[in-house]
Amino acid sequence: MSHTRWKLSRERKAADRAAEPASVVAEREQIRLAYALGQLVYDRRVALGLTQDALGRRLGMTEDEVETVEVGGMLPLTADLLVRLAAALDVTVDLHLVSDGSNTVVFEERAA
Protein backbone atom coordinates (compact mmCIF):
# COMPACT_ATOMS: atom_id res chain seq x y z
CA MET A 1 0.00 0.00 0.00
CA SER A 2 1.37 3.38 -0.97
CA HIS A 3 0.74 6.34 1.32
CA THR A 4 2.02 8.77 -1.27
CA ARG A 5 -1.52 9.54 -2.44
CA TRP A 6 -2.55 10.38 1.12
CA LYS A 7 0.22 12.91 1.43
CA LEU A 8 -0.64 14.43 -1.91
CA SER A 9 -4.28 14.65 -0.89
CA ARG A 10 -3.32 16.50 2.33
CA GLU A 11 -1.11 18.85 0.37
CA ARG A 12 -3.89 19.47 -2.14
CA LYS A 13 -6.35 20.31 0.64
CA ALA A 14 -3.82 22.68 2.23
CA ALA A 15 -3.25 24.38 -1.11
CA ASP A 16 -7.00 24.76 -1.66
CA ARG A 17 -7.34 26.40 1.77
CA ALA A 18 -4.46 28.78 1.05
CA ALA A 19 -6.24 29.83 -2.15
CA GLU A 20 -9.43 30.84 -0.32
CA PRO A 21 -10.29 34.51 -0.30
CA ALA A 22 -9.47 36.32 2.95
CA SER A 23 -13.17 37.05 3.49
CA VAL A 24 -13.98 33.31 3.52
CA VAL A 25 -11.17 32.59 5.97
CA ALA A 26 -12.36 35.43 8.23
CA GLU A 27 -15.96 34.21 8.13
CA ARG A 28 -14.88 30.67 8.96
CA GLU A 29 -12.96 32.01 11.96
CA GLN A 30 -16.01 34.01 13.14
CA ILE A 31 -18.09 30.84 12.97
CA ARG A 32 -15.48 28.85 14.88
CA LEU A 33 -15.37 31.51 17.62
CA ALA A 34 -19.17 31.65 17.77
CA TYR A 35 -19.31 27.88 18.35
CA ALA A 36 -16.61 28.09 21.04
CA LEU A 37 -18.46 30.95 22.75
CA GLY A 38 -21.74 29.04 22.56
CA GLN A 39 -20.21 26.05 24.32
CA LEU A 40 -18.77 28.30 27.04
CA VAL A 41 -22.15 29.98 27.57
CA TYR A 42 -23.95 26.63 27.76
CA ASP A 43 -21.41 25.15 30.19
CA ARG A 44 -21.48 28.19 32.48
CA ARG A 45 -25.29 28.47 32.40
CA VAL A 46 -25.63 24.81 33.40
CA ALA A 47 -22.97 25.20 36.12
CA LEU A 48 -24.96 28.10 37.58
CA GLY A 49 -28.20 26.09 37.39
CA LEU A 50 -29.87 28.63 35.10
CA THR A 51 -32.45 27.90 32.46
CA GLN A 52 -32.20 29.57 29.06
CA ASP A 53 -35.14 31.73 30.08
CA ALA A 54 -33.45 32.85 33.32
CA LEU A 55 -30.22 33.68 31.48
CA GLY A 56 -32.25 35.50 28.85
CA ARG A 57 -33.80 37.71 31.53
CA ARG A 58 -30.32 38.53 32.86
CA LEU A 59 -29.17 39.40 29.33
CA GLY A 60 -32.30 41.21 28.20
CA MET A 61 -32.80 38.54 25.53
CA THR A 62 -35.43 35.97 24.73
CA GLU A 63 -34.99 32.27 25.44
CA ASP A 64 -34.68 31.69 21.67
CA GLU A 65 -31.88 34.26 21.43
CA VAL A 66 -30.00 32.51 24.26
CA GLU A 67 -30.38 29.23 22.40
CA THR A 68 -29.02 30.91 19.27
CA VAL A 69 -25.95 32.04 21.21
CA GLU A 70 -25.44 28.55 22.67
CA VAL A 71 -25.51 26.82 19.29
CA GLY A 72 -23.04 29.31 17.82
CA GLY A 73 -25.53 31.15 15.65
CA MET A 74 -25.04 34.66 17.04
CA LEU A 75 -22.97 36.46 14.41
CA PRO A 76 -21.21 38.74 14.35
CA LEU A 77 -19.78 38.52 17.85
CA THR A 78 -19.87 42.00 19.33
CA ALA A 79 -18.18 43.62 22.29
CA ASP A 80 -21.63 44.47 23.66
CA LEU A 81 -22.65 40.80 23.67
CA LEU A 82 -19.41 39.77 25.39
CA VAL A 83 -19.83 42.45 28.09
CA ARG A 84 -23.44 41.40 28.71
CA LEU A 85 -22.46 37.72 28.91
CA ALA A 86 -19.66 38.50 31.36
CA ALA A 87 -22.07 40.33 33.67
CA ALA A 88 -24.91 37.79 33.38
CA LEU A 89 -22.68 34.75 33.90
CA ASP A 90 -20.38 36.39 36.49
CA VAL A 91 -17.23 35.67 34.51
CA THR A 92 -14.42 37.52 32.84
CA VAL A 93 -14.22 37.00 29.10
CA ASP A 94 -10.78 36.79 27.55
CA LEU A 95 -10.79 37.13 23.79
CA HIS A 96 -7.41 36.72 22.13
CA LEU A 97 -7.25 37.73 18.50
CA VAL A 98 -4.14 36.73 16.60
CA SER A 99 -3.28 37.53 13.01
CA ASP A 100 -2.51 33.89 12.20
CA GLY A 101 -6.11 32.90 12.99
CA SER A 102 -5.42 31.06 16.25
CA ASN A 103 -8.05 33.14 18.05
CA THR A 104 -9.48 32.00 21.38
CA VAL A 105 -12.28 32.95 23.75
CA VAL A 106 -12.13 31.88 27.40
CA PHE A 107 -14.38 32.38 30.44
CA GLU A 108 -12.83 32.68 33.87
CA GLU A 109 -14.94 32.62 37.00
CA ARG A 110 -14.60 35.83 38.96
CA ALA A 111 -12.99 35.52 42.37
CA ALA A 112 -15.47 35.97 45.22
pLDDT one-digit tens code per residue, 44-65: 999 999 999 999 999 999 999 9
Q: CA-CA distance, 37 to 75, in Å (whole number)?
A: 11
The predicted structure's pLDDT at residue 105: 87
pLDDT digits (tens, 9 = 90+) for 67-105: 999 999 887 888 999 999 999 999 999 988 887 778 888
- Among candidate residues 66, 67, 70, 73, the one with its CA nearest the CA of residue 31: 73
The predicted structure's pLDDT at residue 2: 57
Domains of the chain: 4-109 (1.10.260.40)
Q: CB atoms < 10 A from the CB of 60, how many?
A: 9
Q: CA-CA distance, 100 to 103, in Å (whole number)?
A: 8
Q: CA-CA distance, 59 to 80, in Å (whole number)?
A: 11
Q: What is the pTM of this model?
A: 0.77
The predicted structure's pLDDT at residue 68: 95
